[in-house]
Structure 1
Amino acid sequence: MSIENLRNIGISAHIDSGKTTLSERILFYAGRLHRMEEVHDGGGATMDHMDLEQERGITITSAATCVDWGQHQINLIDTPGHVDFTVEVERSLRVLDGAVLVLCGVGGVQSQSLTVDRQIKRYGVPRVIFINKLDRTGADPMRVCEEVRARLGVTAVLMQLPIGLGADLQGVVDLVTMQSVYFDGNNGEDLRREAIPESMQDEAAVAREEMLEQLAMFDDELMELCLEDREISEEMIHRIVRRATIDLAIAPVFLGSAYRNKGVQPLLDAVVGYLPSPGDCETTAYASSQSPAITQVDETDETGQPEEELDSDSEEIDQAVQAQEGDQNEIQLQPDPSATLVAMTFKIVDDAFGQLTFTRIYQGTLERGGTYYNQRTRRKERFSRIYRMHAENREEVDRAEAGDIVAVMGIEANSGDTYASIRDFCTLEGMFVPEPVIGVAVRPQDRLDEDRLTQALQRFRREDPTFRVATDPETNEVVIKGMGELHLEVYLERIRREYKVVVESGAPQVAYREAPTRAADFNYRHKKQTGGAGQFAHIVGRLDVFDGTDDEPFEFEDNIVGGRIPRQYIPSIEKGFQGCLEKGPVARYPVIGVRVELNDGSYHEVDSSDKAFQTAAAACFRENFRKMKPVLLEPIMNIEIECPRDFQGAVTGDLNSRRGMVLSSDMAGEICTICAQVPLSETFGYATDLRSLSQGQATFTMELDCYRRVPTKLQEEIVSERRDPKKPGGVGTQYSTSA
């Protein structure tokens, strides 16, 4: 298939917006399924193939499939909507060329919609928007479009109008062809196009004019035709919409109800018509610091045979050399099957058959049995099998070309690794991985199960970059960390089911941070004489405060002039300071927000060394950090709650009792949406409490917003608990058995 006819897209949304139902309809209309599966049916949706997904009615892991639509092939990834599994959305969008953002016609732009929007923008992914659930009471696509423009800052261009809303939803008006579209047959599979109902003709004319005015902002020829009131062809509209979408200037908006089988086929037409092919996308890689032109391969491969030396005149080396001579060592990859292979691994799944690694091919051809270089480890690995995936089912293929998304076996990769035909060729930019915000200590109920628990934790850590496993050096307890209670709850349940290990867990532990509140000057001299060569290092400067984050917890400013400290020692000084950030003096939590200004110092020609300066920096930090009056910071969560109007007061009062701050409270019919900020430590067990408050009628989502200073009295309690092993949160943990 021509690469122009290939589409790599993801479906993303706030939880319970109908995203997986939409995926199921796409599979049905494209001929992949012969009967529709429902998320809440006993059998569960095809794309939600895990038992836990089918039982809970939510998507936990992203699932990939491919379908044919007309002359096009669509590689489709259905992603989770719950914020605890947001890394699945993150790594999917990193390798996709386009996205369908699904919004609820009643709920509109919700908390996870904002998160997905940030992820889409982070990777520059063009999108179309599908406003779903227009069959529900209170649905209002016009209001949702305004929310998209106001809250997401996206130019939403309405391409359709609904024919009826709620129980009266019948079809849509196509504003390009100016026809009404109805979805007949038992499952909406038969499209019927007719003239626009007379009662809607004026409304449709106004909506089309608004659409053309928006598009004219991106095309001078269209602007001229609009001003002259001349006829505008459908082909011109399609061309402009496609170009503006790929340029990230607009997001075309389509309407329907996936559950009622309305609006899905026009959405698929938009996917192939407006979203880019791999050939429309620019992909930049970065040449390795050791290019093939400099480092010749002269070691043996896995078989013990000498590896083939690279031809210094090869096109591959020329490409890397030209990149190194260009700006920032950049390589512009070409979706050419005959070029050097460049591929990226983005998801890992371990099962009974071995490690399955999902891979996006950006350039070249991947062949079964071929050997390629992991650009991180510089090791040559054999790709023993290549599969096209359909949820949990596999279709083995002999090769995959530029633009394809496949799963492979035989390699030991991490998420985000780059593979290429030759070693030290290039590296693709990795993906953003958020830091965990919650942790619990775990141990097997039966000590004989320790090995199986370790095996399970190692597997899940490989699969999920946001799932962390560490051993507390003070208590020797195993601590697992993740994005929220549900995240860890799912993994504990999977350990019980898949490994037959009953796990006992401690109380949730909040990932606090320590941060300074004032600056401190330092003048530290390290001198040690033990016979023979001694140690000498002298550093002078200032420890200052800045708004640090987990991604950038530390800044180092080198102001040394005149050779007061030789240049080769500066990295060791920085390393010494940075090494102290892992565990602060207040309560042994990580330190953020420290800037080091190194202004002066001295050295000894014989006794100074990297080790001496690193030791001096570490000792200097420990001596001076308390002078900066450090405090504890706690994670603050954005929480969005939907509940019936009758429970608004009870829910708001409960939030206030949790040190929460209500930001807004909006009504849509009988449903109230409450947005608030609450400390993470106050949210443990909130799902159960909210069910009780609302008689099971309220739902909520949470995501990390920021870190904020802990109140003084609470900080004293936290520090006391950390130092007293008998208290909850102390170094000794009270365990309970997982359900």
Structure 2
Amino acid sequence: MNKLNSTLRNIGIIAHVDAGKTTTTERILFYTGENHRVGEVHNGTTTMDFDPQERQRGITINSAATTVFWKGAQINLIDTPGHIDFNIEVNRSLRVLDGAVVVFDGVAGVEPQTETNWRLADRYQVPRLAFVNKLDRIGADFDRVVGMIEERLGVKTAVLHLPIGTEHEFKGVVDVLNMRALLWLGEHAGDPVQITGVPQDLLVPALAARARLIETVVEQDDQALAAYVRGEDIPVEVLQACLRRGTLSGAFVPVLAGSAFKNKGIEPLLDAVVGCLPSPSERQGDSAGEHLSALAFKLVEGEHGAMVFVRVYAGRLRAGDTVFNANTGKKERVARLYEVHADKRIERQEIGAGDIAAIVGLKDTLTGHTLCDPAHPLVLENIAVPEPVIDIAVEPRSQADQQSLSKALQSLTREDPSLRVRQDAESGQVILSGMGELQLEVTLENLRSRHGVNVITGRPQVAYRETITKEFEVSHVHKKQSGGPGQFAEVKLRLAPLPRGEGIQFENLVTGGAIPREFIPAVEAGVRRAALSGVVAGHACVDFKATLLDGSFHEKDSSSLAFELAAAAAFREAAAKAGPIVLEPVMSVEVLTPADHLGDVIGDLSRRRGHVRSQDARGNASVIEADVPLSEMFGYIGQLRALSSGRAQYSMHFDHYEAAPTLAPFGKG
């Protein structure tokens, strides 16, 4: 039986862009002894952001893995991007991680992408810690951020720290559980933490915070709760066990304070990772079983083939093993195994349950595929991939580059499943689709720098969709006779609208063998194929239910092809009469602007067909939250800077599709 390692932690660092994830990760590398110097984002010396584009842009684009050790525990750490365009990296990382540290900007608090990532962690039921960072900055407010976490994210907090000093005078934290002060008085990363008594001016708030913390955590243990009710002192070890139990169950989220850039608060954060976040055994049970099961969650193409990152859930994986890909039905050979530290690799001969590592030698394995024992096949839950919302046309600068472009795009879409490539049926152009302008910019630069392909691009286009607004039934007979065997299929199809985001559903209500069972999949395939090109402007049709009600067949002339063609024609006929409309992607936009430019910014959003949901004060700035159609947001940053003398900033992420104005010009995209 293969026992899981109870001292192992697989965790991710997640947050909104610029909250300090990578800086926090770099400090973790330093304090655990993995690095002997501190890497900085602003001067391009980080270990985790090693890609040239990441260093040039000062942001994380790719999730990067490393391993560190702290007080007897091994921590496999993944630093993820904060920009919405690269959200697939957060998605696939959270799918395989056991815990997460969510970093919050001490000034901005809960930002849009933090909220998106938090919901992803909810989806995968990942226990997490909250680290309120940047408390040395002007306008930082720890209590306000804690309140935002509870209000916006709908969670209960267990506050473990109180900051000592505000803004530039921030110098440490009160450890509420142990009633002591942790001070970082030096300016350098190597300066040791000083442990002292709680400052006199913080004694009353610290005692109040400890009382709230105890009240929160004792609910996790009946004996501790009974002792609390009796007014007895509860040992710190018992409170720590309750804190861990509540974190693992999601009853509350521990909140810590610090400033990663100023080297304050990293050691207690590491203590909390070991003390509060789960080992693989606590997520999977005591034993993982003997037979191999592993999930491929990331793929990186290199000069010598693909490197596939996997999380092993059960069994053992050895270099030279033959594994079964449950998604493709093919066997593949594991040529080599690597433990990955950012851009460095250490070869391993064997990995076990709970481990995260990289495999070289797999030919047909993609993100989300399950690798298992050929004698005991199984399929693990896949990784959800978001639908792209923006398109650009790409073509090679010379005919000689045509084949190279095709090969490079195939490589890039294998790495990043949120990128899509298709050929426009009318123009013949190659269309590259993604999650936003930045992702497409990065992809085009990768085409040039990594694959040596220069391309000409068209203006970005919005990925419109179509849907129907009412129910309609149609009967269609497909009949063709041309000398040899004929084609015959009759289908009666009903289309009905579904709520936004429901996709396409198919139901078969045929009874009595009116259509043989073997032809039913062909009917569904015909509907889905026809829906790829809608009846209004050729955009994909979504959010509808197709119900096969009845039909007929011919003993000799009916075939799967005939039923697929009949279903496609029936769909087009019904969709045209079911109130078809065009949908456009609407983005959730957050603008942070100095208060004196508030009116101009709101006016500009209104001109862009934006709907302002809320406005709030954040320090001496104003925050506007609005829903704005993506088609109106191209080039927004330039206009926003002009309106605010360069002082405002914004972030946005896809929120939903809604009906577009009937008079809007819709191009293919």
> Does TM-score exceed 0.5, indicating one fold?
yes
User: How many angstroms does 1:661 deviate by?
Assistant: 1.1
User: Where do 1:254-265 residues align within 5 Å?
Assistant: 254-265=256-267
User: How many angstroms does 1:212 deviate by?
Assistant: 1.1
Gap change, CA 1:560 and 1:498, over 3 Å in 2: closer
Is it true that 1:661 corresponds to 2:611 in the alignment?
yes
What residue number does 1:395 align with? 346
Is it true that 1:99 corresponds to 2:100 in the alignment?
yes
Is it true that 1:597 corresponds to 2:547 in the alignment?
yes
User: Where do 1:360-509 residues align within 5 Å?
Assistant: 360-412=311-363, 413-423=365-375, 425-509=377-461
Gap change, CA 1:83 and 1:623, over 3 Å in 2: same
Is it true that 1:118 corresponds to 2:119 in the alignment?
yes
Residues 245-289 of structure 1: per-residue CA shift (max 9 Å, x gap) = 111211111111111111110010000111000111128xxxxxx
Is it true that 1:578 corresponds to 2:528 in the alignment?
yes
User: How many angstroms does 1:521 deviate by?
Assistant: 2.2
User: How many angstroms does 1:71 deviate by?
Assistant: 0.4
AA partner of residue 440 (structure 1): I
Secondary structure of 1:359 counterpart: strand
What residue number does 1:326 align with? none
Native 8 Å contact 2:4 2:280 kept in 1: no
Tell me how far apart the structure 1 counterparts of residues 463 and 375 of structure 2 sit (CA, whole Å): 39
User: How many angstroms does 1:548 deviate by?
Assistant: 4.7
TM value normalised by structure 2: 0.96
Secondary structure of 1:281 counterpart: helix
Tell me how far apart the structure 1 counterparts of residues 326 and 376 of structure 2 sit (CA, whole Å): 6
Native 8 Å contact 2:4 2:353 kept in 1: no
Deviates more, 1:411-420 or 1:537-546: 537-546
What residue number does 1:27 align with? 29
Tell me how far apart the structure 1 counterparts of residues 24 and 342 of structure 2 sit (CA, whole Å): 15
What residue number does 1:81 align with? 82
What residue number does 1:643 align with? 593
User: Where do 1:169-318 residues align within 5 Å?
Assistant: 169-185=170-186, 186-187=188-189, 189-282=191-284
Tell me how far apart the structure 1 counterparts of residues 37 and 557 of structure 2 sit (CA, whole Å): 78
TM value normalised by structure 1: 0.87
What residue number does 1:66 align with? 67
Is it true that 1:157 corresponds to 2:158 in the alignment?
yes
Tell me how far apart the structure 2 counterparts of residues 542 and 39 of structure 1 sit (CA, whole Å): 56
Secondary structure of 2:88 counterpart: helix
Tell me how far apart the structure 2 counterparts of residues 555 and 453 of structure 1 sit (CA, whole Å): 35
Native 8 Å contact 2:163 2:174 kept in 1: yes
Native 8 Å contact 1:347 1:357 kept in 2: yes
Native 8 Å contact 2:395 2:456 kept in 1: yes
User: How many angstroms does 1:529 deviate by?
Assistant: 3.8
User: How many angstroms does 1:407 deviate by?
Assistant: 1.2
Gap change, CA 1:144 and 1:384, over 3 Å in 2: same
AA partner of residue 73 (structure 1): Q
User: How many angstroms does 1:695 deviate by?
Assistant: 2.5
What residue number does 1:325 align with? none
AA partner of residue 193 (structure 1): I
User: How many angstroms does 1:160 deviate by?
Assistant: 1.2
Residues 406-439 of structure 1: per-residue CA shift (max 9 Å, x gap) = 1121112201111123256111111110011101
Gap change, CA 1:405 and 1:570, over 3 Å in 2: same
Tell me how far apart the structure 1 counterparts of residues 226 and 559 of structure 2 sit (CA, whole Å): 72
Match of 1:335 among 280, 285, 288: 288
Residues 440-496 of structure 1: per-residue CA shift (max 9 Å, x gap) = 011122333333323321211111001111122222211111100000001111222
Native 8 Å contact 2:172 2:182 kept in 1: yes
What residue number does 2:653 align with? 703
Tell me how far apart the structure 2 counterparts of residues 504 and 646 of structure 1 sit (CA, whole Å): 41
User: How many angstroms does 1:183 deviate by?
Assistant: 2.2
Tell me how far apart the structure 1 counterparts of residues 346 and 526 of structure 2 sit (CA, whole Å): 52
Tell me how far apart the structure 2 counterparts of residues 646 and 61 of structure 1 sit (CA, whole Å): 37
AA partner of residue 26 (structure 1): I
User: How many angstroms does 1:578 deviate by?
Assistant: 2.2
What residue number does 1:328 align with? none
AA partner of residue 53 (structure 1): E
Gaps of 5+ in 2: none
Native 8 Å contact 2:494 2:546 kept in 1: yes
Tell me how far apart the structure 2 counterparts of residues 639 and 623 of structure 1 sit (CA, whole Å): 38
AA partner of residue 374 (structure 1): N
AA partner of residue 29 (structure 2): L
Native 8 Å contact 1:375 1:424 kept in 2: no
Native 8 Å contact 1:278 1:335 kept in 2: no
User: Where do 1:520-539 residues align within 5 Å?
Assistant: 520-531=472-483, 533-539=485-491
Tell me how far apart the structure 2 counterparts of residues 626 and 618 of structure 1 sit (CA, whole Å): 12
What residue number does 1:287 align with? none
Tell me how far apart the structure 2 counterparts of residues 573 and 334 of structure 1 sit (CA, whole Å): 45
Is it true that 1:625 corresponds to 2:575 in the alignment?
yes
Secondary structure of 2:115 counterpart: helix
Is it true that 1:519 corresponds to 2:471 in the alignment?
yes
AA partner of residue 640 (structure 1): E
Deviates more, 1:459-468 or 1:445-454: 445-454
Native 8 Å contact 1:378 1:424 kept in 2: no
User: How many angstroms does 1:533 deviate by?
Assistant: 4.7
C-alpha root-mean-square deviation of aligned residues, in Å?
Answer: 1.9
Match of 1:682 among 617, 621, 632: 632
Tell me how far apart the structure 2 counterparts of residues 376 and 175 of structure 1 sit (CA, whole Å): 49
What residue number does 1:733 align with? none
Deviates more, 1:352-361 or 1:148-157: 352-361
AA partner of residue 371 (structure 1): T
Native 8 Å contact 2:9 2:278 kept in 1: yes
User: How many angstroms does 1:602 deviate by?
Assistant: 3.4
Native 8 Å contact 2:218 2:239 kept in 1: no
Is it true that 1:559 corresponds to 2:560 in the alignment?
no
Secondary structure of 1:117 counterpart: helix
Native 8 Å contact 1:548 1:554 kept in 2: no
Secondary structure of 1:430 counterpart: coil
Deviates more, 1:140-149 or 1:20-29: 140-149
Native 8 Å contact 2:32 2:68 kept in 1: yes
User: How many angstroms does 1:612 deviate by?
Assistant: 3.1
Tell me how far apart the structure 1 counterparts of residues 67 and 493 of structure 2 sit (CA, whole Å): 59
Native 8 Å contact 2:466 2:536 kept in 1: yes
User: How many angstroms does 1:153 deviate by?
Assistant: 1.3
Native 8 Å contact 1:577 1:621 kept in 2: yes
Tell me how far apart the structure 2 counterparts of residues 430 and 612 of structure 1 sit (CA, whole Å): 33
